[in-house]
Each structure stands twice: as structure tokens, then as C-alpha cells.
Amino acid sequence: PGVPLYLTLLAPLLETQDLDLAADAARKRARELPERAELPILAERIARLDQELSTAAAARRALETEEDELGRAVSPLAAEIEAAELERDSGKHKGRDAADQHDVSQAALRERKAALEEREMELLEAVEEIEGRISAHESEIDRCRGERERLEDVIREAEAEVQVEVARLGEARGGLVGQLPPTIVAAYERVRGQERNRGRGAAALTDKRCGACRIELPSLECRKMLEAPADALIQCPQCRRVLVREN
């Protein structure tokens, strides 16, 4: 006897499933690229650095404002000290009391001026320290953005490769599906689309067993399946996968 007609007719269904599973695996690779998991981590780090940079810049502006105010305060003090010295040198303070009063006043002015200048130095050092932090943050942000671009390039390249692979598999699949009865294809697609079946909508019927769930069919039921027309839709009574008869 020759090869049963159903073997010739439905054999492409299992090949179609192999192609579908290969396409599913390719898409999964693209979805689960490790670079994808790194992107949100980088985004969070960039956002945190941006916030820290903004805070540091605000602190620098506050220090610079205080530094400007101190500069405006020191300038008239220096002018006042200089004017008092010129006045003394001109001989206007002739009495001892006037000279003593002048010295006390000058000492107070110089002490105040020294305190302001000391604060100015502290502010300059604080600004310098903040500018160092700002520079470090900016460098790290640039590095993170560069790394993000690299990861995005890797993802785009992988996605492009997957698209090519899926297109090739789809073209081969189209040639196989065209050989199958529409009712068989529709049932296969319906079962394959159910999440619990993990993309498998067909299975071989071998030695009275479903190749997917491995249930052993009763002899009578199995014989009826084997005797059904070549284009008959036969499904496993347990998992509902389309069965391709092999014996």
C-alpha cells in the first residue's frame, strides 16, 4: 500500500508549527535582550544625576549671590578705612582723644572687613567644591547618555536582525499554509493562540498518543481518527491540539 493521503496532506502543519515556534523564539530574543533591562537603570541614574546637578547649580547660584553681596559690603568698608587714614595723615586729629577714637574706629572697621573677607574666601572654596561636583555630574551624565545610545543601537540592530529572520520564516510558512485545508489552519491558529499552549497548536498522533499532552487514546477512538478523511479536523480530546496522524 502507498503512503496514506493524510500523511501527505497534513505533514506541512507540523513544519508550519516549527516555523512558528522559531519565529516566536526570535521575537522573544528581541524582547528579552539584556540591554533592555539596562535602559531603565540608566534612565533612573540620569534622572537622579540631573536632579543632583540642578541642586548643585542652585547652591552655586546662592553662594555666588552671597559672594557678590559680600563684595559690595567690603568695598565701602575699604574706602571708609582709606578715607579715615587719609584724614588722620592730613593732621585733622590733633588731640590724643581724637587719635585714640580714630584708632578704635579703624580697628573695628578692619576687624569687620577681615571677617567679610574671610567669609568671601570660604565662599570661594565652597563654590570651587560645588563646581567640581557639577563637573563630575556632567561627565557622568554624558557617559550614561553615551551608554544609553550604545544600548539603543544594539537593540535596534537586534530587532532588525529578528525582523529579517521572522520575514524569512513567514515566507516559508506561507508556502506551507497554502497547502493545508483552511479549517485545519483555523483550528491550529485558535489552539496555538491560547496562552497555556505556548504557541503549539498541533501535535503528531503516534502509537495512540498525542505528541503534546501524551494522553493515550482508546483503541476505538484512535481507529476512528485513523479512518477519518484526509482533510478531517482531528483534535486531541484533552489538549485540543490538531492531531497529525502518523500511523
**Share above pLDDT 90 across residues of the chain, in percent, rounded to a whole number:** 66
- pLDDT at 128 exceeding the cut of 70: yes
Cα-to-chain-centroid distance, residue 172: 34
Residue 7 confidence class, pLDDT cut points 50, 70, 90: low
**pTM for the whole structure:** 0.72
Residue with the bigger pLDDT between 88 and 76: it is 76
Q: Which residue has the cell 532588525?
A: 160
pLDDT at 238: 94
Q: How many Cβ atoms from other residues are within 10 Å of residue 152's Cβ?
A: 13
pLDDT at 1: 46
pLDDT at 89: 66
- pLDDT at 5 exceeding the cut of 90: no
Which sign, positive or negative, has the C-alpha torsion 94, 95, 96, 102?
Answer: negative
Residue 70 confidence class, pLDDT cut points 50, 70, 90: confident
Task: Label residue 232 exposed, middle or buried (CB < 10 Å: 0-12, 13-18, 19+).
Answer: middle
Residue with the bigger pLDDT between 4 and 118: it is 118
pLDDT at 99: 67
Q: Which of 15, 2, 32, 12 is nearest to 162 (CA)?
A: 32
Q: CB under 8 Å to 19, separation ≥6 — which residues? A: 169, 170, 172, 173, 176
Residues 210-238 have pLDDT tens digits of 999 999 999 999 999 988 888 899 999 99
Q: How far apart are CA 76 and CA 83, in angstroms?
A: 10
Residue 245 confidence class, pLDDT cut points 50, 70, 90: confident
Grid cell at residue 186: 483555523
Q: Which of 196, 194, 219 is nearest to 208 (CA)?
A: 219
Grid cell at residue 224: 476512528
pLDDT at 247: 59
207 contacts 247 by C-beta, under 8 angstroms: yes
Length in residues, the chain:
247
pLDDT at 73: 86
Residue with the bigger pLDDT between 114 and 43: it is 43
pLDDT at 94: 56
- pLDDT at 76 exceeding the cut of 60: yes
Residue 81 confidence class, pLDDT cut points 50, 70, 90: confident
Q: Which of 42, 64, 44 is nearest to 134 (CA)?
A: 64
C-alpha distances in angstroms, 185 versus 113, 158, 171, 200, 233?
A: 92, 30, 16, 12, 10
Q: How far apart are CA 207 and CA 235, in angstroms?
A: 15
pLDDT at 109: 81
Q: CB under 8 Å to 138, separation ≥6 — which residues? A: 53
